[in-house]
Structure 1
Amino acid sequence: MSKQSNQQWFRKIASYLLLTFIAFLFIAPILFMIVGSLKPDELVLSQASTLKAFIPQQTSLQNYRDVFERVKFERFFFNSLFINSTIVLLGLIVNSLAGYAFARLRWRGRSLLLLIVIALMILPFEAIAVPLFFQFTFLGLRNTYTAQIVPFIANAFSIYLFYTFFADLPKELEEAARVDGASPFQTFVEIIVPVSKPVFATVAILTFLSEWRSFLWALMITIDEKVRPLPLAIATFQTLPPIQWGDIMSFGVMMVAPILVVFLLFQKWFVKGVASTGTKG
């Protein structure tokens, strides 16, 4: 084996070792949480400083049963699922129509509004959280599903993703439909939507991932458990005496699991959508 071949082999091994180490750093907290959820409570933190933290010992599902006995987990899960699903579904409709209007229709003020949408992408939610809170309190909508859904349906980033995707679609598709007498809305529904599955999947996944872990607004706008979502519920649960770290880990696993399932199921569409929207516009 030549000296050059030895150097290439060494670089490859070093690269794999480095990537493996970096991957472990990202996976370690999730692995620790999963293994900790299966351990007796007294072993969760006592082994946290050793490699035994990542090795299941005396495994049991008792911690998961404890969560359902101590709090109304199924209620919190339903709240998060209902709120996020509604935001995703309504958001796909509103944001895709807005993106199509910016990309294809010509109307007065279009350029100015598009600039405003782009500017809103850099505006953090925290900047408008307090005025929004007073607005929904004045309308008597505090502690409702409506208050947790409506502010997040229209999303500047989602509109921009749709806009960049639609702007690069061949105009011949729409021209043929227009010749047949189709209206702009019919053209959008019957022609554009069927060929835009990647961007719809991308926006749906990004919206779901973002809203599933949303905490600040739920903390501000909700009062009781009836409409409390999972992020706020786990924050309350971890201070609920007696503090059982095995139960907290179990709660965390059940909260994270839907995100992992959604991403794994739609990973192919997500990667394709990110690639297509990232190279357009």
Structure 2
Amino acid sequence: MAQISADNRGLRLATRYVVLGLIAVIFIFPLVFMLMSSLKPDQQLLEDTASLRAFLPVGDVSLDNYFAAFKRAPVGLFILNSVIVTGVTVALSLLACSAAAFAFVFVEWKGRNLMLSLILATLIVPFETIAIPLLLVASKLPWIGVEGVTWGWLNSYRVQIVPFIADGLTIFLFVQYFKDLPGELIEAARVEGASWGQIYRRIVMPLSGPVLATAAILKFLVMYNQYLWPLMVTQEEGYRPVMVGLQYFFQLNRAWGEIMAYLSLITLPVLAFYLYLQKAFIASIASTGVKG
């Protein structure tokens, strides 16, 4: 009986790995196609799409499309802009939204349930409905910088960062996670005389690795894929992100090889960020003493 049970477990494990492997192949195929297509001239690229050659580095393979992409547009600048805007927004969003969720879950104050309901209600409001009013406000706001007081936030990093620091979904994720944390930890810390700031920094946040990784990934994808808002508020190349830069490759002579090369380049930060967060997520799970 023990041998049969072990064989069944082995079969289930093998079946699970096969299914997961097939799912991984399905997700990897578009990336392989994009990478292989970026190495081929347009004529060969279009011909290979009718066969498995589209997924193989065969034929006239070179890096010419990458060199041509850098000549057509300031690709490095676009990637740098997206990394700056996305990285700063994600960091500030995790800080602001986790602090807000901490106040909603652990701190007693009048009207917190109503306020949380109003914040969650913003999830049903499409961004397109507030884009124009937000643009009008951003174009009139003051800013104190090196040059002194200036008016208008257009053509800057701040106009792409500040409106997206706090959002209802991220606050909701933190609220739901914080509610599942053991209340005994918070009560014990309060009895020992810890302040709310100390509880937030030393107890709650060190136990919040999974929700931090989840919120960071979701926020990263939203910010890195931004197109409408940056298109509205940036008229200078010096502040445009990668998605706005993509339109450079659909003007005049459209070259699919260059488009694939550009897409390959702008995908690298996404993969790097995902791999880093995956490692951090596993480490946080291994180091936490809370289960549930």
Range into which the TM-score falls when normalised by the shorter chain: 0.7 to 0.9
Give, in whole Å, the separation in 2 of the partners of 1:132 and 1:117.
Answer: 18
Q: Does the 8 A contact of 1:205 with 1:270 survive in 2?
A: no
The within-5 A match list for 1:215-234 is 215-234=227-246
Partner of 2:98: 96
Secondary structure, counterpart of 1:39 in structure 2: coil
**Alpha-carbon shift at residue 49 of structure 1 (Å):** 2.7
Cα offsets for 1:11-70 (capped at 9, x unmatched): x99xx69x94x7666544332211110112331223323332222222212211222222
Aligned residue number for residue 196 of structure 1: 208
CA deviation after TM superposition for structure 1 residue 208, in Å: 0.8
Following superposition of structure 1 onto structure 2, how do residues 53-68 of structure 1 map, counting pairs within 5 Å? 53-57=54-58, 58-68=60-70
Q: Which moved more, 1:42-51 or 1:192-201?
A: 42-51
Q: Is the 8 A contact 2:160 2:230 kept in 1?
A: yes
Partner AA of 2:91 in structure 1 = L
- Which ranges of structure 2 fall in alignment gaps of 5 or more residues? 1-10, 142-151, 286-290
The match for 1:257 is 268
Q: Tell me if the contact between 2:72 and 2:249 (Cα under 8 Å) persists in the aligned partners.
A: no
Query: What does residue range 65-214 of structure 1 map to in structure 2 within 5 Å?
Result: 65-139=67-141, 140-214=152-226
Q: Contact 2:35–2:260 at 8 Å: present in 1 too?
A: yes
Give the TM-score, by structure 2 length: 0.81
Could you tell me the TM-score, scaled by structure 1's length?
A: 0.84
* CA distance in structure 1 between the partners assigned to 2:163 and 2:124 by the alignment: 16
SS of 1:138's equivalent?
A: coil
Residue 106 of structure 1 aligns to a residue whose secondary structure is coil
Aligned 8 A contact 1:34 1:249 in 2:
yes
One-letter amino acid of the structure 2 residue matched with residue 31 of structure 1: V
Alignment RMSD: 2.7
Percent identity over paired residues: 41
Q: 1:237 aligns with which of 242, 248, 256?
A: 248
Confirm or deny that 1:248 pairs with 2:259: yes
Give ranges in structure 1 of 5+ residues lacking alignment: 1-8
Deviates more, 1:55-64 or 1:140-149: 55-64
Q: 1:264 corresponds to which letter in structure 2?
A: L
Rounded to whole Å, the distance in 2 between the matches of 1:269 and 1:121 is 28
Q: 1:223 to 1:273 in 2, by over 3 A?
A: farther
- Paired residues in the alignment total 264
